[in-house]
Amino acid sequence: MGNKTYTIYVLRLGHRIERDRRITTHVGLVSRAFGANGIYIAGEKDENVKKSLEKVVMTWGGSFHVEIGVSARKIIEEWRAKGGEIIHLTMYGLPLPNVIEKIRKSKKDKLIVVGAEKVPAWIFELADWNVSITNQPHSEVAALAVFLHELWKGKEFKFEFKNAKIRIVPSAKGKKVLKT
Amino acid sequence: MGNKTYTIYVLRLGHRIERDRRITTHVGLVSRAFGANGIYIAGEKDENVKKSLEKVVMTWGGSFHVEIGVSARKIIEEWRAKGGEIIHLTMYGLPLPNVIEKIRKSKKDKLIVVGAEKVPAWIFELADWNVSITNQPHSEVAALAVFLHELWKGKEFKFEFKNAKIRIVPSAKGKKVLKT
């Protein structure tokens, strides 16, 4: 999937089945499309989100790991213990343009934390980086996409997903799909 | 809000209250935070989405127009008649990096169309541009954010929202908020 220099996982906080199913699925799909190796989902254990994401992997290729019902604290502590860095995306953090170069250059594996509703204070404390994608309220889905887009400097447009059953041929009009 | 050279509206297709409320709200918030002037929401008329978005504008400032229950075809035809261009974000379209420079340079007002479920064929036909933010399935929220981020070349980080009651002071740890 291109010259990746680090492993990237996304940690989705506080998932609630009723409220968050679609948003968390979007977070997972963005993680995969923009080059993360997997996603940990903390909060309620939602087999449906896991199944939806795994179905996309089956059809569209690549490898992408999905783990549900994790403890956020445990994941963060393990990641830290293995020498990875914790990047928390939050509207309160330092602007992406001020920090992305340093984050890109660091060769550490990256755990990218995105919240649902209220994020507990200890996340801000434990994070190596609290990064804002503008200081306006918007969407964890958008924040994650822009962060990864900048981390890769747009290389996500060149990613190849192995063993895909479906591939799209980009076109000016209509839909061109290759099936194998 | 910075040296804007065109008016930008987002057209959200096929909104369904039960299924799409949160995703459409995220689409609206991203539109605002990333410098669109407003959003048209086609599909079911959802007063709650309108209220949520308008509440954010009241608190966080700027001006942002929200119109619900519109006819997508009517909006597109009106936009076209006024000399604006129609940009449809779709995984089937031409890759963003191949087209963004032309779109950025064109001084035409821009209507950015994002789908919900299945997008009808006539949208692909009527659009001046069908643009893909990678050819992988992910999220209209993410696609819109990356598109606008590239359209502005990251200037959204400098946008000022007038008459904001709350402003965030970016910080490395914790939350710093100014209230007026």
Q: What is the distance between the alpha carbons of residues B180 and B163, in angstroms, rounded to a whole number?
A: 9
Q: Cβ–Cβ of B175/A144 closer than 8 Å?
A: no
Collect all residues with Cβ–Cβ distance below 8 Å to B155 and sequence separation of at least 6. B2, B35
Interface residue of A141, A147, A165 to substitute, partner B, most B CBs within 10 Å: A141
Chain B: give the shortest CA distance to residue A175, in Å: 5
pLDDT of A117 over the 80 cut: no
Joined tokens for residue A76: 């963060």
Q: Is the pLDDT of residue B2 over 50?
A: no
Query: Shortest Cα distance from B148 to chain A (angstroms)?
Result: 10
Residues A36, A65: Cα–Cα separation, whole Å: 9
pLDDT for A1-56, tens place per residue?
Answer: 445 689 999 999 999 999 999 999 999 999 999 999 999 999 999 999 999 999 99
For A140, the 3-state DSSP assignment is: helix
Selection from A31, A41, A44 nearest residue A68 by Cα:
A41
**Which residues, in sequence order, are CB contacts of A156 under 8 Å at separation 6+?**
A33, A34, A35, A148, A149, B134
* Contact across the interface for A156 and B134, Cβ inside 8 Å: yes
Instruction: Please judge whether B97 and A157 are an interchain contact, meaning their C-beta atoms are less than 8 angstroms apart.
Output: yes
Min CA distance, A130 vs chain B (Å)? 6
Chain A residues within an 8 Å CB radius of B26: 23, 138-139, 141-142
Among B139, B140, B147, pick the best mutation site for testing chain A contact (most A Cβ within 10 A).
B139
Q: B8-179: which CATH topology?
A: Alpha/beta knot (3.40.1280)
Strand partners, B95: B132
Q: Check residue A49 and give left, alpha or beta (phi > 0: left; psi -120 to 50: alpha).
A: alpha
Average pLDDT over residues B24-39: 98
ipTM over 0.95: yes
Contacts of B106 (CB under 8 A, 6+ apart): B85
Q: What is the mean pLDDT of chain A?
A: 96
CB B96 within 8 A of CB B150: yes
- Rounded to the nearest integer, the mean pLDDT of chain B is 96
Chain B residues close to A101, C-beta within 8 Å: none
Q: Which residues of B touch A160 (CB under 8 A)?
A: none
* Residue boundaries of the structural domains of chain A: 8-179
Name the pTM for this structure.
0.97
Q: Is the pLDDT of residue A132 over 70?
A: yes
Instruction: Grade residue A180 by pLDDT with cuts at 50, 70 and 90.
Output: confident
Nearest-by-Cβ selection for A137 from B56, B146, B173: B56
At B70-120, the pLDDT tens digits run 999 999 999 999 999 999 999 999 999 999 999 999 999 999 999 987 899
Distance from CA of B173 to the nearest CA of A (A): 6
Nearest to A174 among B124, B136, B156 (CB): B124
What is the sign, positive or negative, of the torsion defined by CA atoms of A157, A158, A161, A167?
A: positive
Q: What tens digit of pLDDT does each residue of B33-63 get?
A: 999 999 999 999 999 999 999 999 999 999 9
Across B120-135, average pLDDT: 97
pLDDT at position B180 is 85
